[in-house]
Structure 1
Amino acid sequence: MSAAEKIIRALYPRQSDDHNRLAALYRYDALNAPAGEDFTFLTELAARVCDVPYAFITLLDAERAFVKSFAGLALGAMPRSQCYCSLAVLGGETSEICDLSKDARTAGLPLTIEAPFMRMYSSVPLATSDGYAIGTLSVMDSKPGCLSTSQRDLLRKLARQVMALFELRANERALKTSMDELETLATTDELTGLHNRRSLMNRLSFEVARTRRFRTPLSAVMVDVDHIKNVNDEFGHQAGDEVLAVIGRLVRENVRVIDVAGRYGGEELCILLPNTPLEGARKFAETLRSRIEAQVHGAGARTVTVTASLGVGSFNHMDIDDAEMLLKQAEAALYRAKANGRNRVEG
């Protein structure tokens, strides 16, 4: 431990509830997020209103200080023991040292003894609504001096704007997360993890419109798990649901990013294959059929295997020119697969 660090920890020990302060800091998820123009503007404004060359927005975690935004001097992360702001989070509305070289707490710190040889330091804690200081808005100068009363007041007001911006960014992220979760709930089948029927049909309409416009191929594969009722009767409906869930995962692992897989209804799944002609869809369907057949499912202390019948339809811009006809062709092929012995691909 350096002499400066010993001085810092001796004169300004960590607060006993520093873990609560850190929890408040992490709520904002701001340590690694880019600053953006808004934080830069507030930092530059702080330097201007205080008539000093340097200003910083700094966040402090358990061991390090992260400079979120700066004006006049580019600084990155540094050990917390080497940062003036370590003093400012200990309490008080404003921390000011008129000559850093003459204060025992700061005289040996790197920014004091190395270029640009900081002398004046003034900061305001960035305080959360529950009273924890997660960092500071600070201004500095390489000449000794102090801020005027009006400058300190303006710095406090700017610090409140910085915190308001952190709150806004955090709320925006929370809102986006909530919206993403709601969208997932609205479009995803809970059991299989695939698109639900409504979402599948919406995507089908989009894909049909696109294939019409660009004259590209579009195929659909209907999948029906064979004799799933037997699994339900012998092992219980939970076992049947687990089989469907595993097959849903198997489908997700075997489709491309551009493909759309959904639960069409009951134990039937539907997979849309954009930019895929009929022959390519048949090959995909056969690969999927063989992987479903090879999958071993747990049913309590026992194991069970299932098979699937698959039907393939393809948009050819002649006989098939809309979503309904595409699905009807794939369904007709699926019925042939079931009628011809199941565990096969038709289409």
Structure 2
Amino acid sequence: MRADRLVAALLFLQSRARQRVTAAELAAELGVSERTARRDLEALAASGIPVYSQAGQGGGWSLVGGARTDLTGLTAPEIRELFLLTGPDAGANPQTRTALRKLVRALPAPLRAGAEAAARAGTVDGADWTGAETEEALLAALQRAVVDEREVRIGYARPGGEPRERTVQPLGIVAKSGVRYLLADTADGLRTFRVGRVASVAETGAAAVRPEGFDLATAWRALAARMEDRMVAATVRGRAAPGTGAVLEGLLGGRIRYGERTPGGWTAFEADGPSPEVVAARLAGLGARVELLEPPAARAALARIGAELTALYGAPGTPAAPPCAPARAATPPG
């Protein structure tokens, strides 16, 4: 549209403060013919914007007297936060990069330097070192469905399972700790779907039904609270050998609490999880470096896992590995 092009032309002139812009330069910037660029400059001048031309060598078009039009209305702190948020991703997304370039040109010179510095403050590496296929294309399809309010049929796989199709009303995308989730309305009510487990996205052709008064942040907080309650439904108690703390925290995160150091340098701990069996399975790889004391269900789960591994990998007559010997120094598990 010509109105958009005229705004872009004005921003380009503003970005070249105290410099003349030729019609050829503007044409290259806007992707139009030189004749169209010249007409746009003439239209700006006719509309009352102080755009003037100078003929001859070194001539061109410029905004007289440093005239500016701030099209953003943003404050300096708002601009900084916006570019801190979007700047790192701009290099990977051509549309975002173009939008940010236009925004920078719309800013007064004192604010522009801060915006550019914020955009350079970080970077995002989208490469997946696990070798898994990127989810960006599926994420883009889900985002379009949310914005356009279109019902979609997604193929969704639970851990260890095959994808199953579900028809959902997409309501928003939430990022939590680097993991993205689709929040959608379903026949069973509001549900969350981890984007990395979405195998396919296809629009059904129907419009999505957005609940009246729906607020994404409020709905997410309610669902997240329920999920977090389920994640800490059970508590397991045990003791850990010295030097085990970093591994425990990597497995359980903030759901572990340390107690007193026991004789031999071992440290008592409590850990929360969805169930005793789930916590036991998480800790099974630590072998004799961790001993679970209660509840009995956690000990039974570890015994069962051990028996299954012995049956699968153990050879007749193979001596059992000795238990982990405690360190001489009484140090915490970390």
Query: Which protein, 1 or 2, shows the higher relative CO under an 8 Å CA cutoff with sep ≥ 6?
Result: 1
Larger Rg computed on CA atoms: 1
Measured against the shorter chain, the TM-score band is under 0.3
**TM-score, L = length of structure 1:** 0.25
**TM-score, L = length of structure 2:** 0.26
